[in-house]
Amino acid sequence: MSFTVGMYLAERLARIGLKHHFAVAGDYNLALLDQLLTNSAMRQVYCCNELNCGFAAEGYARANGAAAAVVTFSVGAISALNAIGGAYAENLPVILISGAPNSNDHGTGHVLHHTTGGTEYSYQIEMARRLTCAAESITDAASAPAKIDHVIRTALRESKPAYLEIACNLATAACVRPGPGSALFSSPEPDETSLRAALDATLDWLKPRERVVLLVGSRLRAARSAEAAIALADRLGCAVTVMAAAKGDFPEQHPGFRGVYWGEAGDPGARELVETADGVICLAPVFNDYATVGWTAWPKGKTVLLADPDGVTVGGMAFGGFGLGRFLAELAERAPPRPATARETGFSPSRIAPAAPDAPLTNDEMCRQIGALLTPDTTLTAETGTAWFDVMGMALPNGARLELEMQWGHIGWSVPAAFGNAMGAPERRQVLLVGDGAFQLTAQEVAQMVRYACPVIVFLVNNRGYVIESAIHDGPYNTIKNWDYAGLLDVFNAGEGHGLGLRAATGAELEVAIAAALANRKGPTLIECAIAHTDCARSLVTWGRHVAAANARPPQPR
Ligand code: TPU
């Protein structure tokens, strides 16, 4: 059998560790899908629509390090681009691969289906360029290997999504085979002079400071620097706080751990620690409006050292050209101990007292029971909405992972993302916490959890509407049509699956439902939790007030 462009792509995707790729079929990608199927190292996994396909790949990349989604031209790819924007915001290397018009139709004046009706087809790659770190169009076999390698290598190096479109007649075109070696993983040599200068400047900055705090941000994981951050925390012996979007990215049983820094919405004491420290070492933070609680909690100025994935700013100077992991590892060898902040303070995770078993289910009781489910091998995915605030109060055992999408914040992300994560990490306990409003966007992907027998435990918070939006700005647009959420599982099983739909309106019912979910290993279990519309974490209300104030700032006079 001769080797083809599609086979080349498959071999390269398998080479970077993909055991699955996600797909929705369409006539521009059918021949490509056939070619990908010839590679026995990778399984093709199907999604209900392309938005979900993109998010499933995003979730898979969280579990597996990288992912691929294969879709058809325009009608498919433009839906998937929303999820690719999410992967960009969340720093995940997802390769979006779109089938494209036959190479003989480019520049010939032919009008094709699934296009905007003109005769020029570059609009899709132009859109993709704004949302990816590399984008290539394959219309000849000779340049395909270089383009494929460029796209994959850049995505891995930058931890960002990339885009590839392949003319539908090119997937089966004859192509050279990839050679051995690790060309896809190469990265530039660090600038040693700059690194030395950054380390010296950091040590000078640290010298007079006693009350030092580490603040862990959400890009630490993508920068593959979590271990180096722990080594630095061990060396300094100081207090460590995490930003909300980075909860779970630093072990909560570490002796220095002092909770979530999220302004007035964070853990008690964390704000005071960060804002009274004389040295705050910020590790790969993202200070957006949500993270800073409407710009009210934003460490800045001379007391702050910014250690970003691609450089360090300290003492009025910026240093670049080296990776964060290397910088932190070397700093961990040379930094002086700074234990004052850890000695002065303590941290005890909030404890929720059990509710009366037959009392109507409250948000607190639901959180207490979900918190008790978390094991070191749990991956907890929390949707945009009140779920963010719910999981902030849960103590994570070391090893447990928390998946959040706080930068992109697309409601509905979590259902396909948890599906993708479950495909990438089937050995972990997969738990999903999602609101009713968010669920309505992407609910059909639960059907794929049934199809692929993923035992995800879905806690569906039926609080009858958009509670997070009500906290920011209330109005009639925050109410939604109620659904029979638990009943959907029968619809998705259609007589041939093992999904389980349950309802809990009291603590006792929730306990019984969780026991049934743990016993159901052959498919998802969705537990619809009936919670009053006004019942949510207090931190959400505080946070919502500040975000609303930031949104409502009048235009500045020019
Ligand atoms: O628990 P709760 O009620 O906060 O969660 P639920 O029911 O999932 O409601 C979420 C409400 C929400 C909206 C409508 N949160 N953010 N938004 C705005 C929004 C709209 N469309 C997309 C795709 N993403 C968004 N974040």
What is the tens place of the pLDDT at every residue in 21-70? 999 999 999 999 999 999 999 999 999 999 999 999 999 999 999 999 99
Any atom of ligand 1 within 6 Å of the Cβ of 281:
no
Any atom of ligand 1 within 6 Å of the Cβ of 461:
yes
Any atom of ligand 1 within 6 Å of the Cβ of 217:
no
Q: What is the pLDDT of residues 236-270, one digit of tens each?
A: 999 999 999 999 999 999 999 999 999 999 999 99
Using the mean position of ligand 1's atoms as its centre, give its distance from the Cα of residue 465 in Å: 9
Three-class secondary structure assignment of 378-444? EEEEECCCHHHHHHHCCCCCCCCEEECCCCCCCCCCHHHHHHHHHHHCCCCEEEEEEEHHHHHHHHH
Q: Check pLDDT > 70 for residue 354.
A: yes
Give the separation between CA 470 and CA 30, rounded to whole angstroms: 45
Identify which of 366, 466, 543 to mutate to test ligand 1's pocket (most ligand atoms within 8 A of the CB): 466
Q: Check pLDDT > 90 for residue 122.
A: yes
The pLDDT of residue 287 is 98
Percent of the chain with pLDDT over 70: 100
CA distances in angstroms from 82 to 22, 315, 388, listed in the order given: 16, 39, 21
Span 13-23, average pLDDT: 97
Any atom of ligand 1 within 6 Å of the Cβ of 363:
no
The pLDDT of residue 182 is 77
Q: Check pLDDT > 90 for residue 303.
A: yes
Using the mean position of ligand 1's atoms as its centre, give its distance from the Cα of residue 384 in Å: 6
**Residue 418's pLDDT band (boundaries 50, 70, 90)?**
very high
Using the mean position of ligand 1's atoms as its centre, give its distance from the Cα of residue 405 in Å: 12
CA-441 nearest atom, ligand 1: 23
Ligand 1, atom 14, lies closest to the CA of 466
Q: What angle do CA 241, 278, 407 make, to 5 degrees?
A: 40
Q: Check pLDDT > 80 for residue 286.
A: yes
Give the separation between CA 420 and CA 240, rounded to whole angstroms: 31
Residue 192 burial (CB < 10 Å; 0-12/13-18/19+)? exposed
Span 76-100, average pLDDT: 98
The pLDDT of residue 1 is 62
Is the whole model's pTM more than 0.95, yes or no? yes
At 394, give phi and psi (nearest 5°): -90, 135
CA-471 nearest atom, ligand 1: 4
Using the mean position of ligand 1's atoms as its centre, give its distance from the Cα of residue 439 in Å: 9
Identify which of 52, 79, 384 to mutate to test ligand 1's pocket (most ligand atoms within 8 A of the CB): 384
Using the mean position of ligand 1's atoms as its centre, give its distance from the Cα of residue 466 in Å: 6
Q: Check pLDDT > 70 for residue 164.
A: yes
Span 306-328, average pLDDT: 97
Using the mean position of ligand 1's atoms as its centre, give its distance from the Cα of residue 508 in Å: 29
Any atom of ligand 1 within 6 Å of the Cβ of 443:
no
Q: Check pLDDT > 90 for residue 3.
A: yes
Using the mean position of ligand 1's atoms as its centre, give its distance from the Cα of residue 40 in Å: 40
**Residue 193's pLDDT band (boundaries 50, 70, 90)?**
very high
Any atom of ligand 1 within 6 Å of the Cβ of 413:
no
Any atom of ligand 1 within 6 Å of the Cβ of 86:
no
CA-467 nearest atom, ligand 1: 3
The pLDDT of residue 180 is 86
Any atom of ligand 1 within 6 Å of the Cβ of 409:
yes
The residue count of the chain comes to 558
The pLDDT of residue 173 is 98
The pLDDT of residue 88 is 98
Using the mean position of ligand 1's atoms as its centre, give its distance from the Cα of residue 440 in Å: 10
Any atom of ligand 1 within 6 Å of the Cβ of 466:
yes
CA-436 nearest atom, ligand 1: 7
Q: Check pLDDT > 90 for residue 148.
A: yes
Span 227-231, average pLDDT: 98
- Under 8 Å CB-to-CB from 130, ≥6 apart: which residues? none
- Under 8 Å CB-to-CB from 237, ≥6 apart: which residues? 256, 337, 338, 339, 342
The answer to which of 50-54, 195-199, 397-401, 465-469 has the lowest mean pLDDT is 465-469
- Report the SS3 class of residue 335: coil
At 241, give phi and psi (nearest 5°): -115, 160
Q: What is the pLDDT of residues 493-537, one digit of tens each?
A: 999 999 999 999 999 999 999 999 999 999 999 999 999 999 999
The pLDDT of residue 188 is 85
The pLDDT of residue 419 is 98
Any atom of ligand 1 within 6 Å of the Cβ of 386:
yes
Any atom of ligand 1 within 6 Å of the Cβ of 544:
no
Ligand 1, atom 9, lies closest to the CA of 466
Please give the DSSP secondary-structure letter assigned to residue 140. S
Give the separation between CA 68 and CA 58, rounded to whole angstroms: 8
Q: What is the mean pLDDT of the chain?
A: 96
Pairing state between β 311-314 and 317-320 = antiparallel
Any atom of ligand 1 within 6 Å of the Cβ of 435:
yes
Any atom of ligand 1 within 6 Å of the Cβ of 436:
yes
Percent of the chain with pLDDT over 90: 94
Any atom of ligand 1 within 6 Å of the Cβ of 414:
no
